[in-house]
A = this chain, B = another copy of it.
């Protein structure tokens, strides 16, 4: 059983079922109790080794001619974009086409898998790393920012970053704070939704490439399906976007703002949202303080947890409070203790939509008096990433507060409606 090479077609007989598929490598796997095969449907399944009665290679195997590398011709009339791969479901789509046993991710492979890309732009392709996005850590954001900057310095017209969808919005927010770019930088991925057999990878990649090549703006953004069918994609601003469904292809939604635009059939329709036009200087600033915690308030939350975060030497806590930015009063003393010991505490709302306003009720006012920073209409995830960035730049509480309440990357909208009226 151990002699069958990954990439081979296998037939597996378990104690209760028979499976046929391509044996996969499992480079990131944390256990060795399973083997993984890719079924004909394109889905990977894991099979417990102890359940396997028999596994044999099917010799006729996968037809090599199914996937042929196309030669990539450079057209000087076309824009040039770089596609940087970081892993995730969108990569596994390519794995499926290429046999799934390596992740070289060259321009040739990309174009062979999604031929429409060549019509849009000259493509450069490169893999930064290969991780499921649930495993992506703040230091990976730095790596992605650095590699993106390297590509931009080559004078290209735009960058596409393929990424797992689970934490793509954390990464987009991090890039928005760390990178000032003269060209569009587009993150995209694939949901491979349960409601459709086919993958959304191709359309997301095509619309992302089109946006990177032709977008009239120079911001970080996420381009993903705008609705469940393969009709159009939305261009979401980096700091205002969130994965709001576990499986649907239109899982990503702009929150508390408007999308930058809509991409459909090689045409971008912009909304009235202001964007930074192409051009300007490239700036890379990757200083981050990793010791920041995102704490969701819930009834029954006890002060002890904040005391533990103090013990663990966290430098910042972003609270996902309730409503307009509240927690139970039983936490007030521990919040005071944290702030007194030099920890920044910032308040967002678990309602996700709307703005915190800590002047309306006494709970909010007391928290403000204690020194909690009200994060306006920032998403909790964005405020969390931003606090890492801010604490990477200053430890001075006044400066931290000033920076948290300054709009750097579209993350805060000025209050349009005064409250109280």
Give A residues with C-beta under 8 Å from B: 26, 28-31, 33-34, 36, 39, 41, 43-46, 132-138, 141, 164-167, 170-171, 194-195, 197, 243-248, 251, 290, 292-301, 304-305, 308, 311-312, 320-330, 332, 349-357, 359-363, 365-366, 369, 381, 384, 388, 417-421
**A350 proximity list for chain B (CB < 8 A):** 243
- Interchain residue pairs with CB less than 8 A apart (17): A30-B329, A30-B362, A31-B369, A41-B421, A43-B421, A135-B330, A137-B299, A165-B323, A170-B299, A194-B420, A243-B322, A243-B351, A244-B351, A246-B349, A246-B353, A246-B355, A308-B308
Q: Are B353 and A388 touching (Cβ within 8 A)?
A: no
A326 to B325, CA, bound (A): 27
User: CB < 8 Å: which of B26, B41, B134, B298 contacts A381?
Assistant: B298
A14 to B321, CA, bound (A): 31
Q: Are A326 and B384 touching (Cβ within 8 A)?
A: no
Secondary structure call for the A interface: loop
**A304 proximity list for chain B (CB < 8 A):** 312
| Min C-beta distance of A377 to chain B, whole Å | 9
Q: Are A251 and B312 touching (Cβ within 8 A)?
A: no
User: CB < 8 Å: which of B137, B305, B362 contacts A34?
Assistant: B362
- A312-B308, A322-B166 given; A244·B34 CB < 8 A: no
A248 to B355, CA, bound (A): 10
**A420 proximity list for chain B (CB < 8 A):** 39, 41, 43, 45, 194
Q: Which residue of B lies closest to A138 (CB)?
A: B300
Q: Are B170 and A298 touching (Cβ within 8 A)?
A: yes
A247 to B327, CA, bound (A): 16
A363 to B92, CA, bound (A): 14
Q: Which residue of B lies closest to A139 (CB)?
A: B300
Q: Which residue of B lies closest to A192 (CB)?
A: B360
User: CB < 8 Å: which of B194, B294, B326, B354 contacts A419?
Assistant: B194
Q: Are A292 and B300 touching (Cβ within 8 A)?
A: yes
Q: Are A328 and B135 touching (Cβ within 8 A)?
A: yes
**A298 proximity list for chain B (CB < 8 A):** 170, 293-294, 381, 384
- A33-B369, A351-B243 given; A363·B322 CB < 8 A: no
Copies of this chain assembled into the complex:
2
Q: Are B246 and A357 touching (Cβ within 8 A)?
A: yes
Q: Are A355 and B30 touching (Cβ within 8 A)?
A: no
Q: Are B421 and A197 touching (Cβ within 8 A)?
A: yes
Which of A245, A248, A361 has most chain B Cβ within 10 Å? A361
User: CB < 8 Å: which of B251, B308, B354 contacts A246?
Assistant: B354
User: CB < 8 Å: which of B29, B352, B355 contacts A244?
Assistant: B352
A366 to B135, CA, bound (A): 13
A417 to B246, CA, bound (A): 13
| Min C-beta distance of A399 to chain B, whole Å | 22
Q: Are B328 and A137 touching (Cβ within 8 A)?
A: yes
Which of A33, A36, A292, A324 has most chain B Cβ within 10 Å? A324
A363 to B327, CA, bound (A): 33
**A34 proximity list for chain B (CB < 8 A):** 362, 365, 369
Which of A165, A247, A349 has most chain B Cβ within 10 Å? A247
A39 to B141, CA, bound (A): 48
Q: Are A323 and B170 touching (Cβ within 8 A)?
A: no
A167 to B350, CA, bound (A): 10
**A326 proximity list for chain B (CB < 8 A):** 132, 134, 166
- A194-B357, A369-B31, A420-B41 given; A133·B246 CB < 8 A: no
- A43-B420, A300-B290 given; A246·B137 CB < 8 A: no
Q: Which residue of B lies closest to A242 (CB)?
A: B351
A195 to B134, CA, bound (A): 38
A248 to B419, CA, bound (A): 12
| Min C-beta distance of A333 to chain B, whole Å | 9
**A351 proximity list for chain B (CB < 8 A):** 243-246, 251
Given contacts A30-B362, A166-B323, 16 further A-B contacts (CB under 8 A): A29-B362, A30-B332, A31-B366, A46-B359, A46-B362, A134-B297, A134-B326, A134-B328, A134-B329, A135-B330, A167-B322, A194-B421, A245-B354, A246-B323, A246-B354, A248-B353
